[in-house]
Structure 1
Amino acid sequence: MRYCRAMTQATHPEGFPDVLVGEALAAARALPTRTPVFAITGLQGSGKSTLAHQIAMQAEASGLRVAVLSLDDLYLTRAQRMRLAAEVHPLLATRGPPGTHDVALGCHVLDALRAGESIALPRFDKLADDRLPTTGWPRISERADLVLFEGWCLNAMPEDDVALSAPVNALERDEDPDGVWRRHCNDALRRDYPALWSRIDALWFLQPPGFEIVRTWRWQQEQAMLARDSARTGMDRAQLDRFIQHYERTSRHLLATLPGMADRTIQLDEARRPLLVGAT
């Protein structure tokens, strides 16, 4: 008989169970690479950075040196995206979808970490919608024993071109009627991102119950960012709903493809609680 139950033992406040964190760290340490890149992916608000932080804390408590890199920190600068918006399509001004990351920078950082070189880790300010100056980037001066790489679309594959013809939401229908933006994003996935994905040694996928829950999770994430800096201004619900539509096509494709590609898939319920699936 198959069964599915919520994991409740030793759960961190607003975090993942100790048992899951320990399993992730054990899986990372078992990788046959001196400085392995252990990746965590999942849709917006699924808890990727939380899990990465918990793994890093447990690893450091064991005496390991850990570097944490987020795909979000590899966004193109605001000026770079404005140029794309002017030259290719206005929707490329919005960060997040494929084609708005500095893939070459990501490859450079991961290669330097693997080689044990001193390297500054890029950082992006989401509320300012721009990359922080390099003076604000933390530097890794000693070889890391483990690299944790988290991001919403890690290992995303391009769709078949025929799938791009029909819009998936109002944003695509009204603001990309000719499909120029979505073809640009898909072409970037086909051309640029495989080099970055090839640096990943293992990938865990935090699988939501469906795409619709992203609206709730991402709103919670937005409120948490504002709570940390109440002097800043974030998105209201209408702005957030439009923002999420930029991610919908790739997100739905990830939900269909990642369970078959990830080294482990962790199913989540609507409260982000991991579900254990096994046999009795």
Structure 2
Amino acid sequence: MSDWLTDFIAAESLPPDFAQTARAICHPLADKIAAAAVATPGLLVGICGPQASGKSTLTAVTRRMLEEGGLTVALFSLDDLYLSHAERQALGRDVHPLLATRGVPGTHDVALGLALIEALKGPGETGLPSFDKARDDRRAQAEWPRFQGPADVILFEGWCVGARALEPGALTDPVNDLERRHDPRGAWRGFVNAALAGPYGELFGRIDLQVLLRAPGFEVVLDWRREQERKLRERLAREGGDAGRTMSDEQVDEFIAHYERLTRWILEEMPRRADIVIDLDAVRRPAAP
């Protein structure tokens, strides 16, 4: 095992067997990205994976492997493009209350994402937007990490990166209790879908290579997210942190319900057109062929 991967596993408190997952997923993924970058300078790679699938960790390892191969690699997350807290509160007042909760299409600064991609492809220093989830707000630009371009490869990861809009007729029936109680007329899901068809279509249309981390199903995603929150509570309790800021299983269920419709659609639709599909099993390891 590479020394840097050993250090990464220790720093992130990952299980030792993560090294096997990294070799199985990240090595071949890095090889394919590097090959594609030869023909496409500034290659934009969209990495889509549901909540708690491990996409951020796997993307970080893939980045390091690409850098070990001599490539200049920029990495940013869809999460770091969230609108400010005040902007989302305004959406909640003016459009629909559910839009005050960050996450779905319509709650990101798409123009910032488009400008960022163009800047990363050029020479010079670029600030990488950074969102503070603890404060539920974007950090000041002075706190953003800096990247020196041009990038050979740009890795763009997020739970719905590359998603496409549903047909309007598919929005009629609620998919869960959240939609039945809080969006009975479909205004929220219609707004989200229109955002996907419009500005997000332009953003995701810039992707040169689409990668999908495919979960076995939405129910597994829900289990993953509950497990992630429980582990966070345990870690904060050990470290003397404020475990009260974490979510209970019931709160996780309510939160993930915001993402259910689009997560199910991605799992159904994206595998047919993604350039690379990586199947995960119920414990987030590569699924057996």
Please report the TM-score for the alignment, with normalisation by the length of structure 2.
0.87
Q: CA deviation at 1:273?
A: 0.7
SS of 2:287's equivalent? strand
Matched, 1:170 2:167: no
Counterpart mapping for 1:57-96 below 5 A: 57-96=64-103
Q: CA deviation at 1:13?
A: 4.0
Q: CA deviation at 1:14?
A: 3.5
> CA separation of 1:148/1:249 partners in 2, compared to 1, >3 Å: closer, same or farther?
same
Residue 30 of structure 2 corresponds to 25
> In structure 2, how many angstroms separate the alpha carbons of the residues matched to 1:66 and 1:268?
25
Q: CA deviation at 1:180?
A: 0.7
Matched, 1:271 2:278: no
SS of 1:275's equivalent? coil
Using the TM superposition, name which of 249-258 and 143-152 deviates more.
Answer: 143-152
Residue 3 of structure 2 corresponds to none
Q: CA deviation at 1:12?
A: 6.1
Q: CA deviation at 1:223?
A: 4.4
Q: Contact 1:222–1:234 (CA<8 Å) still a contact in 2?
A: yes
Residue 236 of structure 1 corresponds to 248
Matched, 1:51 2:58: yes
- Deviation string 1:163-187 (CA, Å, 9 cap, x unpaired) is 1111000000011111110100011
Aligned counterpart for 2:202 among listed residues 195, 205, 211 = 195
> In structure 2, how many angstroms separate the alpha carbons of the residues matched to 1:183 and 1:268?
30
> In structure 1, how many angstroms separate the alpha carbons of the residues matched to 2:230 and 2:69?
33
Fraction of identical pairs, as percent: 44
Matched, 1:35 2:42: yes
Residue 141 of structure 1 corresponds to 148
Using the TM superposition, name which of 229-238 and 68-77 deviates more.
Answer: 229-238
Matched, 1:124 2:136: no
Matched, 1:262 2:274: yes
SS of 1:37's equivalent? strand
Segments of 5+ residues of structure 1 without an aligned counterpart are: 1-10
- Deviation string 1:6-47 (CA, Å, 9 cap, x unpaired) is xxxxx9644633143121111111222112112211111111
Q: Contact 2:59–2:157 (CA<8 Å) still a contact in 1?
A: yes
Residue 12 of structure 2 corresponds to none
Greater relative contact order (CA < 8 Å, ≥ 6 in sequence): 1
CA RMSD of aligned residues (A): 1.8
Q: Contact 2:122–2:149 (CA<8 Å) still a contact in 1?
A: no
Segments of 5+ residues of structure 2 without an aligned counterpart are: 1-14
Q: CA deviation at 1:202?
A: 0.4
> CA separation of 1:271/1:236 partners in 2, compared to 1, >3 Å: closer, same or farther?
same
Query: Residue 59 of structure 1 aligns to which amino acid in structure 2?
Result: L
Using the TM superposition, name which of 22-31 and 202-211 deviates more.
Answer: 22-31
Q: Contact 1:12–1:18 (CA<8 Å) still a contact in 2?
A: no
- Structure 1 residue ranges, 4+ long, deviating more than 6 angstroms after superposition: none
Using the TM superposition, name which of 197-206 and 56-65 deviates more.
Answer: 56-65
Query: Residue 251 of structure 1 aligns to which amino acid in structure 2?
Result: T
